[in-house]
Chains A and B, each alone.
Chain A
Amino acid sequence: MATVVRTERLTKDFATGFWRPRPHRALDALSFDIPAGGVYGLLGPNGAGKSTTLKLLVGLLWPTSGRAEVLGRPAGDTGAHQRLGFLPEHPTFYDQLTAEELLMYFAGLFGFAGQERRTRATRVLDRVGLGADRRRPLRQYSKGMIQRVGLAQALVNDPEFVMLDEPMSGLDPIGRREVRDLILHLRDEGRTVLFSSHILSDAELLCSNVGILDRGRLVASGTVAELAASTGEGGRGWEVVVTSLPQAVADRLAPRVRRVTKIAEGRYSLELGPDVHPEPLIAELAVAGAALVSVSTLRTTLEDAFINVISPGPKAPGARPQGQG
C-alpha cells in the first residue's frame, strides 16, 4: 500500500464554555498524505493540534467534517488497529498489573495465543530496556519507565504503522537517544513511523517528511530539505567568530553584517549574508587587533523554517482552553 494515512479536509471543532458552548476549531481542513516507509514528523507549537490529529487517526475522536483514512480504512475502524501501534500523549496504564501482564493482555487482544503472548511481551520489553523490571507492578515505575512501556505496547503486534504522540517526553537525554535509535530501526525494518513533537532537532535527524501545524492549520509540509530551502533567504552565509575585538570596532561593523552577537567580553560572533565576502572583513578585523577563532558556512535550519511559518499571534504560551499537543 502506497499511502498509510490520507486525510481530506479533516476538521475538528470542540465545544468550549459551559453555558453557551462556542466551537473552538482545533483542526481546520487538514489535508495531507503519509507515504509508506519512512518517518513522518508532525510538528507544531503546543496547542497546534498534533495530538488531536493523532487521536482522530486512531479513533479516540470523531471528525466534525472531512475524512481520514488509515491503512486503507476509515479512521477508527478497529480492523486497521490490528496492524498499527499507538503511543498516547500521556501514557497511563493499570497500576496493579506488571509490565509483563499488561503486554500479555494487549498481545491477547491482538489475537495471539498462550505462549506466544509471553514471548512477544518479553521480546518487546527487552527492546525498550525494561526486561529486568518486567515483573514489577507498574505502580512502581518512574515516568521514564512508563514512557518505555508505552513504546513497548505500541510495538507488541509488530505493526506496519507506528504512531507516537510526543515519544520523547519524560525521557532524559540517554532515553531520548534510545528512542531516536528505535525509530530509525523501525524505519530500517520497513515500517512507517508517524510522530508528533515540538522538538525540532529530533525531527531534523529522523524525518523523511515533515508537516508543520499552527493553530489547526497545516502551514508547511514536505521534506526537511525542501522546508529549509523554502525560507528564501538565500540559504547560505557565513559565521565568523573572533576574540579580542574592541567594542568600538564591533559597533562600527553593525551596518555591514547581518548580525553581531557578543558572546563574552571581546568575543563576538558575526553573521554575514551570502552576498558579503568574508575575506576582506577578516583582514580588517585582524588589523584592528582581533584574533580569528572560526569561519563557517551557515545552513538555514528547520528551526528557521518553523519560525518563519508559525505566525506570531496574541497567544500566551500554553493558553489553550483544552490541552492539546
Chain B
Amino acid sequence: MAAQRIGLVAWHVFKESVRDRVLYAIGAFALLLVASSLLIGQITAGQDVKIIKDLGLTTIELAGVLMTVFIGVGLVAREIERRSIHSLLAKPLPRWEFIVGKYFGLLLTVTVNVAAMAAALYLMLAWMDWTSLPNIRRSWDAPATDVRLLISVLLIYAELALLTAIALFFSTFSSSALWSVVFTVGLYIAGLESEDLRNFGDIVDAPVMAHVVSAIGWVVPAFSSFDVKAQVVHGVHIPAGYVIHMLLYAIFYIGVALLAAVTIFSRREFK
C-alpha cells in the first residue's frame, strides 16, 4: 500500500517535471554547450576528442545540477508556497511517503535526462571517431567511444542523486523556493571545495581554525570526489574500489538527507 502511494507520488512528480518548461530551457542550454564544444575544438589544436569528452561530461554534470536545483526545488518548495500541498496532505498519505515519493520522482527525471545526454554524447563521439583519420586516432590518449566514460557518467549520476536529496532537504524547511535554491547551490559549491577544506590544515598555521574548517570539509558532501572526468578523458584507470566506495558514500549521505528531510517535514506546519 505504501509502495503504491509512493509510486504514485513519484510518477506524478516525473510527469510534472516533463511538462515543466524549465526542463526544455536546460536542454537547450545543454545543446548549445555541446555545439560550442565543436567550435572550441578549433582553439586547442589536436585535442578535439579530449575537448568534446571534457565538455560533454561537464555539460551532463552542469545540466544535471541546474535541473536538480531548479526543478527539484521548484517541485517541492513551490508546492508548499502555492499551497497545492494542502489538498494532498489531507489524503491518506503519511508525510514520509510524500518525501520518499518526491525523491524517487525527481530521481527518475534525473535518470532519464542523464541517460539521454550520455547517449547523445556517445553518438557525437562515434561520429567523430568515424570521420577522423587513422593517424589522428592513434594520437588520442583513449578511444573516442571509450566505455570508461560511463564510469564518469555513473559517478556524475550518483552525485546528482545526492544533490537531489539535498535539494529536497532544503525545500522542506526553508520558507521560500528562493532560499532553497540559494542553500542548495551554496552547499554544492562548498562540496566542490571539500577536498581543499579537508586539507586546510596543510596551508594554514592556526590550529583551531584548521580543525574547524577540516571538520566542515568532512561533513560537507564531497562532490569533488565524484569528479573523475580528467582521468577518464585521458584513459587513466579508475579502480573499481574507488567507484564502489563513492557509490556507498552517496547512498549513506542520501539516507542522511532523506532522513533529515522526513524529520523536518513531519513536524512542519502549513498555514
Chain A residues with Cβ below 8 Å from B211 are none
A308 CB–B CB distance under 8 Å: no
The reply to whether A81 and B92 contact each other, CB–CB distance below 8 Å, is yes
What residues on B are CB-neighbors of A106 within 8 Å? 87, 91
Q: How far is the CB of B201 from chain A (nearest CB, A)?
A: 38
User: Shortest CB–CB separation between residue A173 and chain B, in angstroms?
Assistant: 26
Contact of B93 among A88, A91, A109 (CB under 8 A): A109
Binds B, one of A56-64, A205-213, A280-288, A289-297: A56-64
* Cβ-neighbour of A88 out of B9, B16, B87, B92 (below 8 A): B87
Across the interface, which residues of A come within 8 angstroms of B267, CB to CB?
A: 62
A207 to B89, CA, bound (A): 27
- Give the CA-CA distance A98 to B269 in the complex, in Å: 28
How many Å from the CB of A153 to the closest CB on chain B? Answer: 6
Shortest C-beta distance, B177 to chain A (Å), equals 15
CB <8 Å contact, A96 and B15: yes
Partner of A105, one of B8, B83, B92, B94: B8
Interface size counted on chain A using CB atoms at 8 A: 36
Residue B86 contacts which of A79, A88, A94 (CB distance < 8 angstroms)? A88
Residue with the highest number of chain B CB atoms closer than 10 Å, among A61, A109, A111, A324: A109
CA distance A97 to B87 in the complex (A): 15
A61–B4 Cα distance when bound, in Å, is: 26
A168 to B84, CA, bound (A): 19
Tell whether A92 is near chain B: CB-to-CB under 8 Å: yes
B270 touches A78 (CB 8 A): no
Encode B85-103 as 1/0 by CB contact (under 8 A) with A.
0111111111000000000
Q: How far is the CA of A89 from the CA of B82 in the complex (A)?
A: 12
**B90–A84 CB distance below 8 A:** yes
Tell whether, in the assembled complex, residue A88 and residue B90 are in contact, meaning their CB atoms are under 8 Å apart. yes
- Which of B1, B92, B270 gathers most chain A CB within 10 Å? B92
Query: With A61-B270, A96-B16, A109-B8 given, is the CB distance from A86 to B87 under 8 Å?
Result: yes
Interface residue count for B (Cβ, 8 Å)?
26
Q: A82-B92, A111-B1 known; A60 and B87 CB under 8 Å?
A: no
A79 touches B92 (CB 8 A): yes
Structural contact, B91 and A110, CB atoms closer than 8 A: yes
Q: Which of A14, A78, A96 is in CB contact (< 8 Å) with B94?
A: A78
Say whether B137 faces chain A, with CB atoms less than 8 Å apart.
Answer: no
Cβ contacts under 8 Å, B91 to chain A: 78, 81, 106, 109-110
Which of chain A's residues have a CB closer than 8 A to the CB of B148?
Answer: none
Question: Which residues of B sit under 8 angstroms from A97, Cβ to Cβ?
Answer: 12, 15-16
In the assembled complex, the Cα of A81 lies from the Cα of B269 at a distance in Å of 17
Nearest-neighbour CB distance to chain A for B81, whole angstroms, equals: 10
The reply to whether B270 and A55 form a contact with Cβ atoms under 8 Å apart is yes
Q: Which residue of A lies closest to B82 (CB)?
A: A92
- Alpha-carbon distance A81/B89, docked complex (angstroms): 9
- Interface: B245 (CB within 8 A): no
Q: Which residue of B lies closest to A79 (CB)?
A: B92
A-B contact count (CB 8 A): 83
B271 touches A55 (CB 8 A): yes
Minimum Cβ distance to chain A for residue B259 (Å) = 20
**Whole-angstrom distance from the CB of A275 to the nearest CB of chain B?**
50
Known: A94-B16, A96-B19. A150 touches B4 (CB 8 A): no
Interface membership of A108, Cβ < 8 A: yes
Query: What's the Cα separation between A101 and B12 when bound, in Å?
Result: 9
Interfacial chain B residues near A108, Cβ < 8 Å:
4-5, 8
Chain B hits for A322, CB < 8 A: 271
B19 touches A60 (CB 8 A): no
Query: In the assembled complex, how far is the CB of residue B85 from the closest CB belonging to chain A, in whole angstroms?
Result: 9
* B146 within 8 A of partner (CB): no
Distance of A193 from chain B, by nearest CB (Å): 15
* Inter-chain contact A58/B90, CB cutoff 8 Å: yes
Contact partners of A91 in chain B: CB under 8 A? 86-87
User: Distance in Å from the Cβ of B15 to the closest Cβ of chain A?
Assistant: 7
Tell me which residues across on chain A come within 8 A of B16, comparing CB atoms.
94, 96-97
CA distance A78 to B4 in the complex (A): 15
A154 cross-chain contacts in B, Cβ below 8 A: 87
Q: Among B5, B12, B20, find the residue whose CB has the most chain A CB atoms closer than 10 A.
A: B12
**Measured CA separation A33–B1 after assembly (Å):** 32
Instruction: For A52, give the chain B residue with the smallest CB separation.
Output: B271
**CA separation between A153 and B86, bound complex, in Å?**
12
User: Within 8 Å CB of B4, what residues of A?
Assistant: 108, 111
For chain A, residues 147 to 185, give those with C-beta under 8 angstroms from any C-beta of chain B.
Answer: 150, 153-154
Q: Could you say which residues of chain A place their CB within 8 Å of the CB of B270?
A: 55, 60-61
As a 0/1 sequence over residues 233 to 271 of chain B, the CB contacts with chain A under 8 angstroms (1 = contact) are: 000000000000000000000000000000000010111
Chain A residues 101 to 116 lying within 8 A of chain B, measured CB to CB, are 101, 105-106, 108-111
- A90/B83 in contact, CB under 8 A: yes
Residues from 159 to 215 in B contacting A, C-beta threshold 8 Å: none
List the 3 shortest-distance A-B pairs measured between CB atoms, nearest first: A86-B90, A88-B86, A96-B19
Q: List 21 A-B contacts (CB under 8 A).
A: A14-B271, A55-B271, A58-B90, A60-B86, A60-B89, A61-B269, A79-B92, A81-B93, A85-B90, A88-B87, A92-B83, A93-B87, A94-B16, A96-B20, A108-B5, A109-B5, A110-B91, A111-B1, A111-B4, A150-B87, A324-B271
A61-B269, A106-B87 given. 18 additional CB < 8 A pairs? A60-B90, A61-B271, A78-B94, A81-B90, A81-B93, A87-B87, A90-B83, A96-B15, A97-B15, A108-B4, A108-B8, A109-B91, A109-B92, A110-B91, A110-B92, A111-B4, A322-B271, A324-B271
